[in-house]
């Protein structure tokens, strides 16, 4: 099906980056920042999952965010807000509270802790992983922390930006840091 101009993400969406330190239970990512695209899918947030898939981020799902700190040590993750809004805690208790709403996209490098603090009743997100990677779910425990450290180092940079494809800003931001 041909892409209409309403299906494309807004090129002028603002981008914010966040870095988080390890806290001995949550590793976060020592090199790569989390990236927030504010309003990238403002025109058509329902297409988030399809756009991620078209840009090579697969193994997708639509749901919410767990209400406890967790992370994926073997894959990067993209989250696109399809409806509603939420307050998320990134990077563990010492990290940062981030407000997301319909149309926003959040890219979390492997190891970045995240949890839902509050959300509207209609909060739904699409999630996906570069190349359709199988992902694990680790929690804030000493055993998971130790197992995660070598795994995070092995996760390759993605081939494409989940929002903009082969020429997206994520690749530039992560190449500069990685």
Residue 30 forms part of a structural domain:
yes
Residue 8 lies inside a defined structural domain of this protein = no
Give the CATH number, domain containing residue 119. 2.60.120.10
pLDDT-based confidence at residue 13 (cuts at 50, 70, 90): low
| More confident: 132 or 167 | 132
5 pLDDT above the threshold of 90: no
Q: Is the pLDDT of residue 7 over 60?
A: no
Number of domains in the chain: 1
| Domain-embedded: residue 7 | no
Q: What percent of the chain has pLDDT over 90?
A: 88
Alpha helices in the chain (DSSP H): 48-54, 142-154, 169-177
Nearest residue to 36 (alpha-carbon basis) of 102, 115, 98? 98
Model-level pTM? 0.92
């Amino acid at each position: 099906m041909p892409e209409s101009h309403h299906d494309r993400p807004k090129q002028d969406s603002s981008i914010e980056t966040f870095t988080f330190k390890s806290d001995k239970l949550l590793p976060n990512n020592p090199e790569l920042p989390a990236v927030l695209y504010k309003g990238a899918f403002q025109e058509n947030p329902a297409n988030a999952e399809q756009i991620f898939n078209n840009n090579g981020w697969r193994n997708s799902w639509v749901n919410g965010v767990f209400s406890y700190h967790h992370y994926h040590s073997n894959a990067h993750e993209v989250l696109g807000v399809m409806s509603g809004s939420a307050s998320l805690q990134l990077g563990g208790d010492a990290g940062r509270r981030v407000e997301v709403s319909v149309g926003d996209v959040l890219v979390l490098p492997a190891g970045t802790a995240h949890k839902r603090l509050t959300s509207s009743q209609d909060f739904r997100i699409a999630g996906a992983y570069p190349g359709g990677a199988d992902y694990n779910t680790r929690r804030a425990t000493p055993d998971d922390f130790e197992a995660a450290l070598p795994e995070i180092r092995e996760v390759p940079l993605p081939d494409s930006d989940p929002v903009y494809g082969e020429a997206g800003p994520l690749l530039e931001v992560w190449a500069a840091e990685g």
